[in-house]
Structure 1
Amino acid sequence: MSTTVRGACPHDCPDRCSWEVTVNSTGEAVALRGSTAHPLTAGRLCGKLSGYLDDRVYHPDRLTRALRRTGRKGEGRFTEIGLDEALDEIADRFRDITDAYGPAAIVPFSYEGTQGLLQSKSMSERFFARLGATEVLHTICGATAGAGVSAVNGTTNGVLPEDARHAELVLVWGANPIVTNQHLWPAILAARAAGGRIVVIDPVRTRTAAAADWHLQPRPGTDAFLALAMAHVIVRSGHTDQAWLTTHATGLDELTAHLDRFAPDRVAPIVGIPADEIVRLAHAYATAKPALIRLMIGMEHHPGGAAAYTAIAALPILTGAWAHHGGGLSFHTAAHFMAALNMAGLKMPHLATSPRRLINMVQLGQALTDPDQDPPVHALLLHGSNPAVTVPAAGLVRTGLAREDLFAVVHDHMLTDTARFADIVLPATTQLEHLDLMWSWGHTDLMLNIPALTPPGDAISVTDLFRSLAARLAFTDRCFADTDADLVTTALDSDHAWLAGVSEHDLRTNGWQRLALPVPYLPFADGFPTPDGRARLASVATVAATLHDDLATARPPARPLQLLTTKGLRSMNSTYADTPRAARGDGPWLDIHPDDAAQRGIGDSAVVRVHNDQGEIELLARISRRVRPGVVATEFGQWATDGAGKSAGPVNALTDDTLTDAGGAAFHHTFVEVDLSD
């Protein structure tokens, strides 16, 4: 007899689908489908997840035994060893390194390979805090945008994505929800069906841009200038909501003093959009009631990324859009969960007995190769991440990973590009094989993932891995005996109003429960979470003052072509990029404008060399007006070799580890030349 088990997708994605797994009488998962009971999932899984059973759970190359390296680092030559032997070796090496250099010589590296609170933010956090290891700042994605929005609003909270249906105008700025957020797009279409309008601002003509009523295509990295030009028009045209501003914002005079410098005719040559189009956009936005701006993450990856989000966040303040249901700014919902749940109880940072050394994950390559660090990095434990592909300056990262004196451990499902450099590789459980509590940055439904299968071979969960290492290192703290069920209880041990009515019983029964937010939800009806309860336009004035100094020089760069990377339909960051399912035709492709291709004698489908002083990769040219002149684009997350065995990247061979103004990764500040391959 078959059984059905409820769970939830683990991926770094705003949708967070609820699923149901059918397991037959022999313990094999024979079907994985979207839950029909969950309103947002509505029985549908995305193209990335629909092949999860074949692509991960039952893939013939899935790791099920612990491995020890036998060849040179990077070769991918290993021999199987027992799990206990592997864990004993890791514990012994950690003990020796701690005795010789101190615990800061050990670096954990993980990110959102799973977004489960148990498997990414509980036992592992406790272990490394107790050990005193170096702490890695998770700045590579989201932190810059969050800093920019919070500089104005005091939080990243905003309009719930499903409330887009109430908007008269939806301004999708630097996001591509048709590809990356399938639950949001129907709400946007509902707004259109009710008479609303969809406007997209994006340097690339994405699927969402092509489906919009109006697409504006600025030069990459000029969004702050565009937002300030819109603010200029809004203020000078009398479109501000003065009564709302008086009560809910400060700093209007400081901002207004700078806005004359951002008149559309001055900004147009910088952003590459005609001045009359900027004026028309500002009027359309300011007169729509309500108007909603939808932001996501990709736009942050420029040196001035936080400044751009700060400038954009000013627009709904000036117009008073926040006063209306569905009006304002919709960014992500992560802060709702982080505020409501008992995150301190899960992570237990107090286990660290002294301040821990900090390194920025964006600059992992520097951390691994800097001989002057005190102490140098001697051990690296990676889980839920593939930095040889996903971190900037991939060449430097790989140089660091190739150090023979670096003891590297990787915990993963597959022999990734990063795992090929490991000394020990540990097989990881999949989402079908462990308990987890799932939050979302695209909706407000908390989900419980219940294990449906017995892990194959020696596959071990993150929580069991760090319990085992804690025992081997004789950590006697009671928290390391917590079971996964205990961790769920801890996470829910909070008296926050948004957890009212949320219970373990109901999560186990239904698979999900919505946070107890007011209905309708107007996030700042009672004021902004700032010291005086008002939004801070002075932060925008500071951005404007800084950018004014750049007005004279902020012209198209003399450097060759600016490289942007876009999300794929069938891969999630670097997850699944190794599968034939993720391949796009005969790609991977580089989109290049016809003018730029003609100047270089490049024909459609030609093999081209994309290069700069960081490195080079080969791609297939796709001549397209999806990109504007001076810009090229490709999918990110490509492994060195894709599922069809072709060289495919990684694109981060071309990036450097320049930081944004909030310490994130300036991936899109990458300039390349493109020519025909020999």
Structure 2
Amino acid sequence: MALDPAFSAAPGAQGVTTPVVATCTRDCPSACGLLAYVREGRVVKLTGNPAHPVNRGTACRKTPGFLRRMTSDKRVTTPLRRVAGQWTPVSWDDALDEMAERLKDCVARHGPESILYYMGFGERTALKIVNARFFAHLGGVTTLRGTLCGGTGYAAQGLDYGPRVSHDPLDLQNARTIVLWGRNPVATQFGLMPHLRAARERGASIVLIDPRQSESAALADLLVQPRPGRDAFLALAVAKRIIEAGWEDRTFLETRADNLAGYLALLARWSMDELVAACDVPLAVVAALAEAYAQGKPTATMLGWGLHRFTLGHEMVRAVDALGAVSGNIGLAGGGVSQGFEEWGPYDPELWGEGLHPPRRKLLMPQIGREILEAKDPPVEMAVITAANPVCMAPNADLVAKALDCVPFVVHMNLFLDDTAEHADLFLPCAAFYEQRDLVASFGHNYVGPLVRAVDPPGQCRSQFDIFMDLGRRFPFAGEYIKTEEEWLRLLIRPLLEKGVAWDDLWKGPVRIPDAPMVPWADGKFDTPTGRFQLLTEVTACEDCRDAARYPFTLLTVGPVGHLCSEREPGYDSGPLEIAMASEAATRLGIADGSPAKLVSPLGELVVTVRHDETSRADVVSCGRGGWLSHGQGVNRLIPDLVSAVGQGTPYYEARVDVERLS
């Protein structure tokens, strides 16, 4: 396989070539610009790209792990077929011949709905749309609805503003106050760090709202730790305080917003004491937040993904949106309530292929295990899984594993034999992100970045694009489907080209989407049916958990600093999963710091190591997500497969647990 023509092979210091421009493709909003340094056909270093306007040369602590995984001798480098319970190497021709024949057989005998295409979010690049188009050509296979992450917030903000649009991260330079509400950029969006640090240097204040004292607490002037799942009541309390003080933006509320009377009635439904008790935040802190929003503006609110992880997460997001409106921060430079961007937005939506054969059945991603098991007429006869590790990352993980075991033939594409691979019949080894050519948009900023192939994939590994092109040659629609990378990419970015973006510029570095606003809604016009901002009028009264006596702790499975989701490698230094809990709570249970214990939920139990945390709320247990079941760290085995009330999201944080001492 030839290297990308954009690759510069001029030797540099110590025999290292001129750095190759890359963009991180992983499931992270930063989509950081990176530089890959190559020596003797191997990438030896990954660094941030100083020319990238967002991450500005920074790179998070996950970056060395990307390199370690991609150069690991444990990568699978040949297709594997499970024979009598054991993996056996096979040729690409044999693997794709069998895959094609099984796909054709499923369509002929059971209809296209008998095939499940599970495309996760582990790799977010333009050419993944071409993968989905392959399955549209088959005639409308079963696909997915809902998400494991951001659907709740997306849907909630859609109710308030219209289709999701956020302030450009570069607009943080105009903020006097920045509120990180459930957001932990040190761990989950390091690309924001240059802008947050610059804001601090300018004298801006930073507020962190999080039940945990997360890694980002070091940035904050004020740390607020509400009771998990009660953020809506905190937002209502702050708004109530603003209105009591006469600080509200009455002009916006009366001329740019709907439902003002209903919203004011909602605020009147609870006294301030009741709201403060519900969120468990002191009145003095509520007052400080009110002043930050109304007197310290422009106030930029950066919503995190933690708010999505509750059944009623939409109410939390909408309550914070309303707080932004009450305080006069909507449509204001340096303000806004921002959550994310549509990373597929820059591409031609027609190329997903739903116009060829609309999907006839979609299974809920948050409940994928039970959805597969309950699928009838026809049942799922074959599953193809890309950019995902659902056995590890989906809730009720044991049920997901059971469901895949009931599917007659499962194809999995990845770098390693992970938890999902243990339930697959055919494993196809994929190229890593700097071993392929593609384009990358972001759900955290407004730039499209290049992915330039710096080195060849090891062994027989291939990009998913190459795999699907080769597979497509075995079908009657090959004449329409088979194209080169460049041909498909030019088709995909047609909307960008029509807006004046030059093809060559995309490969030199990130290009800003031309019509992306720096400050959305600055004209006061919203993409809602009335053209006005929609204030919420209902919030569900809080109730104590029915299982509080048996399961007294809320389990927060958070994004770790050192790795992304389940992107590890077999044999990583694991040991028992470490959980953090308040020192007082652990001591009361007789569990010393560093001691083993059992983490117990209604679904099962897991042996863990307890770490005392002096900063934790006493009703919270937290741990990093993404540990493998095969390594004894599969915490998603304990989490119920619920669905959020709005947006078909996954409310991981509804999990209730107890911690039991091991004698």
Give the TM-score taking structure 2 as reference length. Answer: 0.92
Distance 1:28 1:294 in 2: 38
Give the drift of 1:401.
Answer: 2.0
Q: 1:464 to 1:579 in 2, by over 3 A?
A: same
Is 1:213 matched with 2:221?
yes
Distance 1:229 1:556 in 2: 27
Given candidates 507, 512, 515, the residue that maps to 1:514 is 512
> Which position in structure 1 is the counterpart of 2:625?
636
Q: 1:456 to 1:338 in 2, by over 3 A?
A: closer
Tell me the amino acid that sits aligned with residue 343 of structure 1.
Answer: P
> Which position in structure 1 is the counterpart of 2:657?
672
Distance 1:293 1:453 in 2: 40
> Which position in structure 2 is the counterpart of 1:644?
none
Q: 1:341 to 1:174 in 2, by over 3 A?
A: same
> Which position in structure 1 is the counterpart of 2:57?
43
Could you say what secondary structure the match of 1:299 adopts? Answer: helix
Distance 1:21 1:278 in 2: 46
> Which position in structure 2 is the counterpart of 1:229?
237
> Which position in structure 2 is the counterpart of 1:652?
636
- % identical aligned pairs: 31
Give the drift of 1:580.
Answer: 4.1
Tell me the amino acid that sits aligned with residue 20 of structure 1.
Answer: L
Is 1:386 matched with 2:399?
no
Tell me the amino acid that sits aligned with residue 305 of structure 1.
Answer: G
Could you say what secondary structure the match of 2:565 adopts? Answer: coil
| Structure 1 spans left out of the alignment, 5+ residues | 642-646
Distance 2:268 2:518 in 1: 38
Contact 1:269 1:555 in 2 (8 A): no
Q: 1:648 to 1:210 in 2, by over 3 A?
A: farther
Given candidates 341, 348, 352, the residue that maps to 1:347 is 352
Given candidates 311, 317, 328, the residue that maps to 1:303 is 311
Distance 1:579 1:271 in 2: 42
Distance 1:323 1:427 in 2: 47
Is 1:176 matched with 2:178?
no
Give the drift of 1:504.
Answer: 1.2
Could you say what secondary structure the match of 1:109 adopts? Answer: strand
Distance 2:359 2:169 in 1: 38
Distance 1:656 1:554 in 2: 14
Could you say what secondary structure the match of 2:324 adopts? Answer: helix
> Which position in structure 2 is the counterpart of 1:12?
27
Given candidates 396, 400, 423, the residue that maps to 1:397 is 400
Distance 1:664 1:277 in 2: 30
Tell me the amino acid that sits aligned with residue 79 of structure 2.
Answer: A
Give the drift of 1:121.
Answer: 2.1
> Which position in structure 1 is the counterpart of 2:530?
532
Give the drift of 1:274.
Answer: 2.3
> Which position in structure 2 is the counterpart of 1:54?
68
Distance 1:310 1:609 in 2: 37
Give the drift of 1:143.
Answer: 0.6
Deviations 1:46-67 (A, max 9, x none): 22122433321x2101111010
Is 1:285 matched with 2:293?
yes
Tell me the amino acid that sits aligned with residue 140 of structure 2.
Answer: G
Deviations 1:223-272 (A, max 9, x none): 11111222222223222112233332121112112211233201222211
> Which position in structure 2 is the counterpart of 1:204?
212
Contact 1:563 1:668 in 2 (8 A): yes
Deviations 1:305-343 (A, max 9, x none): 1111111110111122124311111211x23x5444323
Could you say what secondary structure the match of 1:150 adopts? Answer: helix
Deviations 1:410-468 (A, max 9, x none): 01111111112111101111112211110012221111112122233321222222222
RMSD: 2.2
Distance 1:552 1:635 in 2: 27
Given candidates 573, 581, 584, the residue that maps to 1:595 is 584
Number of aligned pairs?
Answer: 646
Is 1:356 matched with 2:341?
no
Distance 2:462 2:354 in 1: 24
Q: 1:159 to 1:225 in 2, by over 3 A?
A: same
Q: Which is worse superposed, 128-137 or 411-420? A: 128-137
Deviations 1:473-509 (A, max 9, x none): 322451x11221112111221269xx7332211112x
Tell me the amino acid that sits aligned with residue 63 of structure 2.
Answer: L
Give the drift of 1:589.
Answer: 1.2
Could you say what secondary structure the match of 1:617 adopts? Answer: strand
Distance 1:266 1:637 in 2: 37
Give the TM-score taking structure 1 as reference length. Answer: 0.90
Q: 1:429 to 1:378 in 2, by over 3 A?
A: same
Contact 1:267 1:275 in 2 (8 A): no
Give the drift of 1:218.
Answer: 0.8
Given candidates 545, 555, 571, the residue that maps to 1:563 is 555
Contact 1:228 1:262 in 2 (8 A): no
Q: 1:424 to 1:355 in 2, by over 3 A?
A: closer
Distance 1:71 1:197 in 2: 62
| Structure 2 spans left out of the alignment, 5+ residues | 1-9, 12-16
Distance 1:495 1:176 in 2: 32
Contact 1:264 1:279 in 2 (8 A): no
Give the drift of 1:669.
Answer: 0.4
Contact 1:571 1:577 in 2 (8 A): no
Give the drift of 1:618.
Answer: 1.4
Contact 1:432 1:451 in 2 (8 A): yes
Q: 1:528 to 1:129 in 2, by over 3 A?
A: farther
